[in-house]
Amino acid sequence: MAPVIEIRNLSKIYVQNFIDVEHGRLKIRLKNRRTAALQDLTLDVEEGEIFGLLGPNGAGKTTTIKILMGIHFATRGTAKIMGHPLGHKPTKAKIGFLPENPYFYDYLTGREFLHYYGQLYGMERSLRRKRTEELLELTGIAYAADVPLKGYSKGMLQRAGLAQALLNDPKIVFLDEPQSGLDPLGRKEVRDLILLLRDQGKTVFFSSHILSDAELICDRVAIVHKGKLSSIGRLNELLSARIKEYEVTVAGISSETVEQFESQATRNVAAGEEHLFVFEGEQAAQALVRKCLAENGRLISLAPRKETLEEFFVDQVRPSGEETKAKNI
């Protein structure tokens, strides 16, 4: 099956003119400032998956989503959504979008806001009413439906933003940092909501810099750093190949053996007659286990510890590791 999102060599260079208006102020520089926010990003997203676009701040995640949403135009490269080039209106009718740190019309109440957006989707009044009430309920802001958005907290705006993104029962949902601004409970609710969307057969494309959240829900992730793709794949593929270390806990072994393995271990801790060794290599761990059994000691535990997404990520984006790491596509 064809991927629902195809991104090919997408690049974006922001040009800030030497004379420019920023935040309502005139700004004059010595020359134009160019920022290569995105460089040759190529990736596919399959139907029905939860795809996480991960990367540190300034990596180019928001830029990617803005281009896909038609807010910015790419400098180079192309992208297709459901087989259609960007800007195709019938396609836009089938997607939902939550921007980063959303902000909406002060002067509308939550309910009016959703009705307005429903109208922009061309939804019939009865359908609009039904969806509005459902989503106010689902996102947990029904209690504030008649309060102007001016009075919404950051978290409530985020929820209103989620509600508007789902108004048209979209096939694909684009969420830019959906969990930012939320408390731990709110983050869990968003996670559950994303899983619910997947269960409904929707494709979810979201960006995040909070890895622990992403790790729990993503089918596949792409890691971007400084505008470039540094790796992409299924979470278990990216991480399982890399057992980070082995923890071996033994008891009742000779002091020579302890000394022998101390030098090989990255860490070791002794508590009474129990000894904990942490090895990087599998060989050393196995050797210790054999030795322990040969000496009639007790093997208390042997635990291979997988790399967490966070460690993998840090490894990927560490300045020195940048060039040496082969692209893992």
Partner 1 sequence: MYSIFVIALNTFKEAIRNRILYVILLFAILIIISGGIMGDLSVSAPEDLIRSIGLFGINFFSIMIAVFIGIGLVYNEIDKKTIYTIVSKPIDRTHFILGKYFGLLLTIYANVIIMTLFFLMAIHYYSVVDQQTMNDYFMHLASQKGSYTQADIYMYYVKALLGAIPKGAGSFFGHDPTEATKNIMTVISMNCFELAIIVAFAILFSSFSTPILSAFMTIMTFLVGRGNEDIIRYVWKLQDKIQASGGADMTLHFKAALAQVIALIAPNLSIFYKVSDAIYEDKAPIYGSEILYGVIYPAAVLTLACLIFSRRNFK
Given ligand ADP, Mg ion, partner 1, none, residue 251, with its beta carbon under 5 to 8 Å by kind, binds none
3-class secondary-structure state, position 202: coil
- For residue 60, the minimal CB distance to partner 1 (Å) is 15
- For residue 71, the minimal CB distance to partner 1 (Å) is 5
CB closer to ligand ADP, 159 vs 225: 225
Question: Should residue 55 be labelled a site residue for ligand ADP when binding is judged by CB under 6 A?
Answer: yes
CB 245 within 8 A of CB 305: yes
CB closer to partner 1, 163 vs 211: 163
Contacting range for ligand ADP; rule: CB under 6 A; set: 42-50, 52-60, 272-280, 290-298 = 52-60
Considering only 23, 28, 57, 326, the residue that binds ligand ADP (CB under 6 A) is 57
> Which residues have CB under 8 Å from 197's CB, separation 6+?
166, 173, 204
* The two structure tokens encoding residue 302: 């042997």
CB closer to ligand ADP, 3 vs 58: 58
3-class secondary-structure state, position 55: coil
Given partner 1, Mg ion, ligand ADP, none, residue 93, with its beta carbon under 5 to 8 Å by kind, binds partner 1
CB 43 within 8 A of CB 7: yes
Residue by residue, DSSP assigns 219-254 as: SEEEEEETTEEEEEEEHHHHHHT-EEEEEEEEES--
CB closer to partner 1, 163 vs 284: 163
184 phi and psi angles, rounded to 5 deg: -50, -40
- For residue 242, the minimal CB distance to ligand ADP (Å) is 24
- For residue 184, the minimal CB distance to ligand ADP (Å) is 22
Question: Should residue 316 be labelled a site residue for Mg ion when binding is judged by CB under 5 A?
Answer: no
Considering only 39, 62, 109, 316, the residue that binds Mg ion (CB under 5 A) is 62
> What is each CA distance from 66 to 79, 87, 226, 239, 318, in whole angstroms?
12, 12, 17, 29, 26
Residue by residue, DSSP assigns 257-296 as: HHHHHHTT-SEEEEETTEEEEEESSHHHHHHHHHHHHHTT
Instruction: Give the Cα separation of 4 and 7 in Å (integer).
Output: 10
Question: Should residue 180 be labelled a site residue for ligand ADP when binding is judged by CB under 6 A?
Answer: no
CB closer to Mg ion, 41 vs 123: 41
- For residue 102, the minimal CB distance to partner 1 (Å) is 7
Site for ligand ADP in 11-40 (CB under 6 A): 14, 16, 35, 37
Question: Should residue 58 be labelled a site residue for ligand ADP when binding is judged by CB under 6 A?
Answer: yes
CA dihedral (265, 266, 269, 274) in degrees, to 10, reads -30
Binding site for Mg ion (CB under 5 A): 61-62, 100
